[in-house]
Amino acid sequence: MNETAPYADLPAGEMAEDEAEDISDADLINRAKECYRVGIDASARWRSDALEDLEFLSGDQWDGNVKGLRASEGRPALTVNRLPQFVRQVTNEQRQSKPSVTVSPVDSGADIRTAEVLQGVIRNVEYTSNADAAYASGGQSAAITGLGYWDVCAEYEDEKSFEQHLVIRRISNPLSIVMDPGCKEVAGDDARWCIISTDISKGEWASMFPGQEMPKSSGWDGQGDSAANWVAKQGVRLHEYRYVKEEADVLVEVPQGIFEDIPNGGALLESELEPDVVAMLVAQGAATRPTSRRKACWAKIAGDEVVEKGEFAGRYLQLARVVGTELEIDGETIYEGVIRHAKDTQRMLNYFVSAEAEAIALTPKAPFIAAEGQIEGYETEWETANNRAHSILHYKPQAIGGTVVPPPQRVMAEANVSAITNARMQAADDLKAVTGIYDAALGARSNEQSGRAILARQSQGQTANFHFQDNLAMAIRYTGRILVDLIPKIYSGPKVLRILGEDGKQEMVPVNQEAEFRGEQVNIDLGTGRYDVAVTMGPSYHSRRQEAAAQLVELLKVNPALSQVAGDLLIESMDIPNGKAIAERMRKMLPPEIRPPDDKQPPPQVLAQQLQQTMQQNQQLTAALNEAQDKLESNAQDNETKERIELTKLHVDLMKTAATLDSKENTALLANEAKLIRERLRMPDLQPSQPTQPSLAPQGAINGQGNPYAGPGGVG
């Protein structure tokens, strides 16, 4: 068996047949322990160096024997730890360069809209699970030890939900991971197994595995990943063994037009089709070939017991790896961080600082030289002259051979530390050269005067360590692929998901169903089509917006007229109170030809067309209304004229009849009828006082001419 990758020496067919079968818990534990042993052995050198790197970075930078010897002799062993500053320079650049995941379609079954939704879901997963902390932790571990990790998993939304959601969890201790040493991809894409060790307490065990007795840990400790002291008494170490299982299958060609789901044809696995469908396709001459179906499985092992096991929804191990500096020497892969080769220089710096302090401390204080008898009587003053500030020092003048001796004089003593100081400065410069981070990148002033020269010097340090940032981007891209594979499976069925835009704007999207989205009736099926992921690293959206505002201000200084057409963009890019409201008002004042379309209002061209159509409709309706009104008025006049003519005739006839009647009662009755007719015709009461002849009603009265019973203007 290959010592570096268990089961890697088996042929593909044997591996598929062996791993396709359900294995017992005992065999699963043996396999997991074998993988663990192989992984620990293969990474022994890295684990030893990584543990030393961590201890060295924390300040433990002196050899124990040397430090003990100096302490016994009363000699200083100082530590001036400059390494954290260099590490933070690399990791904080990673924090400032926010990753941006881009999803794009790669086949005919995919589309841009669904890719945009997947991209928004990934951003939402990163936001809700605080993925920035996981990315920062993984990048920091890679910068220090050479390797870093984070986990992608599905969790229940809460204790009362059957719905799961995707999260990204940080792994603070890279030494708790044992990964297949046979994987070659930077992010661990091709790893066939990995083991994640976690220490849990009794309370966590009871919550995770209710009713199960907590077993004892045994034989699972690796270098740099020793169990905590409390684990032996109050907890247990849990190992999650993840592995890839290959199941033999047959790929069947599907001609065009057979299935509605794939109208253009394609290929399906035999396990996805009914046997009679496979037979029908083969009979029609469909091509086939043997293949294998990849599954990702997991098992949680505590001590020598499998407490839980199952399969992942996707095809990946869901563990992303970040690599620092990678070297392969004689078949062994070595991973390094920023400080691996800076430790000797840091040790020299500590030694020179200690030597400098020791030399200065051992330098005798400046003594006085006095002739015999000069300080007689004033001994106390002169003995305390080096540690007290006396305003006056008395002495007795003395003469030797008739010559007065000068007063006592101080002999200055200076420690010769210039060589040590120069060596210490050289060690500090060597530290910058080893890490590739110089003064300008560290914020110190240098000889550069122009801004461009300063940026050029800063970019030297960024370029020297850019591979850390680039490897982090590769791990995030692999994380995006894991999420694209998991999203259709975790968020299956009709749902409404929240997506996030690059600017953090939230939007609710119905997926896996026919529904309205952005004014259109669409069906965003997350499980249809294939998509790929790319990652761009750069300043955050907030930083880019501030930079854009600064550049717009400079442009407006050169060309103030731009404020008439781009003032809204400048205000919107500034973080000022009511900035959006001000920008919106300025946008409404833009000329129609450059005014951006409003989601709630049609474009100006559409508004003008709608206004013209409305005016035409109003003109047509007004003309039709006037015509109908004219007809109504004409009909009313005609009807009124006919009625008045008939009533006038009736009135004349009544008057004629009344003139021929002898009975006063009949005459009064007819007169009353005539009165009612006059009221209806609005005629004056012109009832004759004596009988009249029919000739009293001339023929012209019918037309309202000379009619004494017609109102003003005649009957008409």
Residue 50's pLDDT is 94
- Is residue 147 within a helix (H) or strand (E), and if so which, with residue range? strand 147-156
Residue 713's pLDDT is 38
**Cβ neighbour number for residue 695 with a 10 Å cutoff:** 7
Residue 116's pLDDT is 92
More confident residue, 699 or 264: 264
pLDDT for residue 265 is more than 90: no
pLDDT for residue 564 is more than 80: no
Distances from the Cα of 107 to the Cαs of 79, 111, 266, 485, 533, in angstroms? Answer: 59, 8, 11, 15, 13
Read off the pLDDT of each residue in 688-693 and give the average, rounded to a whole number: 44
pLDDT confidence tier of residue 231, bands split at 50, 70 and 90: low
The whole-chain average pLDDT of the chain stands at 79
Q: Is residue 505 within 8 Å of residue 217, measured between CB atoms?
A: no
Q: How far is CA 668 from the centre of its chain?
A: 104
Residue 134's pLDDT is 95
* Domains of the chain, residue spans: 1-42+224-315, 82-191+317-338+465-538, 540-596, 606-703
pLDDT confidence tier of residue 703, bands split at 50, 70 and 90: very low
Alpha helices for 5-82 (secondary structure H) = 12-20, 25-42, 44-57, 64-72
Distances from the Cα of 698 to the Cαs of 585, 673, 695, 706, 708, in angstroms? Answer: 81, 21, 6, 8, 10
pLDDT single digits (tens) 584-615: 777 777 777 666 665 455 556 666 777 788 78
**Cβ neighbour number for residue 459 with a 10 Å cutoff:** 13
Residue 240's pLDDT is 95
Instruction: Give the Cα separation of 286 and 19 in Å (integer).
Output: 29
pLDDT single digits (tens) 403-462: 888 888 887 766 677 888 888 888 888 888 888 776 655 555 555 555 555 555 555 556
Read off the pLDDT of each residue in 147-161 and give the average, rounded to a whole number: 90
More confident residue, 630 or 106: 106
pLDDT single digits (tens) 459-499: 555 678 888 999 999 999 999 999 999 999 999 989 999 99
Residue 704's pLDDT is 41
pLDDT single digits (tens) 27-81: 999 999 999 999 999 999 999 999 999 999 999 999 999 999 999 988 999 999 9
Could you tell me which residues come within 8 angstroms of residue 658 by beta carbon, excluding any fewer than 6 positions away? 666, 667, 670, 671, 674, 691
Instruction: Give the Cα separation of 507 and 514 in Å (integer).
Output: 17
Read off the pLDDT of each residue in 96-102 and give the average, rounded to a whole number: 83
Instruction: Give the Cα separation of 463 and 444 in Å (integer).
Output: 18
pLDDT for residue 365 is more than 60: yes
φ, ψ at 155 (rounded to 5°): -130, 155
Whole-model pTM: value is 0.70
Residue 541's pLDDT is 59
Read off the pLDDT of each residue in 370-375 and give the average, rounded to a whole number: 87
Residue 110's pLDDT is 86
pLDDT confidence tier of residue 665, bands split at 50, 70 and 90: low
pLDDT single digits (tens) 172-229: 999 999 999 999 999 999 999 999 999 888 888 888 888 888 887 665 766 666 666 5
Instruction: Give the Cα separation of 168 and 130 in Å (integer).
Output: 7
Helix, strand, coil fractions of the chain, as percent rounded to 5 = 45, 20, 35
Q: Is residue 108 within 8 Å of residue 264, measured between CB atoms?
A: yes
Greatest mean pLDDT range, 133-137, 376-380, 587-591, 672-676: 133-137
pLDDT for residue 639 is more than 50: yes
pLDDT for residue 711 is more than 70: no
pLDDT single digits (tens) 390-400: 888 888 888 88
Cα atoms found within 13 Å of the Cα of residue 610, Cβ hemisphere only: 7
Residue 657's pLDDT is 67
